[in-house]
Amino acid sequence: MINKFQFGHTEHVSSHIIFGGYALSKATQVEADQILDLLLKYSINHIDTAPMYGNSEKCIGSWMEEHRDKFFLATKSRKRSYDGAWKDLQNSLNRLRVNQIDLWQMHSLTNPQGWDKAIGPGGALEAFIEAREKGLVQYLGVTGHSNKTPAMHLRSLERFDFDTVMLSYNYTLMQKPRYVADFMKLISLCRERKVAIQTIKSIARRPWDNRIKTYNTYFYEPLESQKAIDKMVHWALGLQNSFLVTAGDMKLLPKILDAANRFKKKPSDEEMNAVIDDFDIQWIFDY
Cα torsion 176, 180, 183, 185: sign: negative
How high is the pLDDT of residue 131?
Answer: 98
pLDDT by residue (tens digit) across 244-264? 999 999 999 999 999 999 999
pLDDT by residue (tens digit) across 100-117? 999 999 999 999 999 999
How high is the pLDDT of residue 12?
Answer: 98
Confidence category of residue 210, pLDDT binned at 50, 70, 90: confident
d(CA 177, CA 174): 7
pLDDT by residue (tens digit) across 132-160? 999 999 999 999 999 999 999 999 999 99
pLDDT by residue (tens digit) across 27-69? 999 999 999 999 999 999 999 999 999 999 999 999 999 999 9
**Domain 4-279, CATH class in plain words:** alpha beta
d(CA 92, CA 51): 6
What secondary structure letter does DSSP report for 81? B
Nearest CA among 228, 209, 231 for reference residue 220 = 209
Cα atoms in the Cβ-side hemisphere of radius 13 Å centred on 271: 13
d(CA 107, CA 50): 8
Phi, psi of 244 (to 5 degrees): -100, 125
CB 194 within 8 A of CB 8: yes
| pLDDT for residue 195 is more than 90 | yes
Residues 6+ apart with CB under 8 A from 273: none
Beta strands (DSSP E) in the chain are: 4-6, 13-15, 17-20, 46-48, 72-77, 101-106, 137-143, 164-168, 196-200, 204-206, 221-222, 242-245
Cα torsion 128, 132, 137, 142: sign: positive
pLDDT by residue (tens digit) across 168-179? 999 999 999 999
Confidence category of residue 211, pLDDT binned at 50, 70, 90: confident
How high is the pLDDT of residue 287?
Answer: 55
Query: Angle formed by the axes of helices 177-193 and 149-159, to 10°?
Result: 30
**How much is the mean pLDDT over the chain?**
97
Residues 6+ apart with CB under 8 A from 257: 2, 17, 38, 42, 44, 246
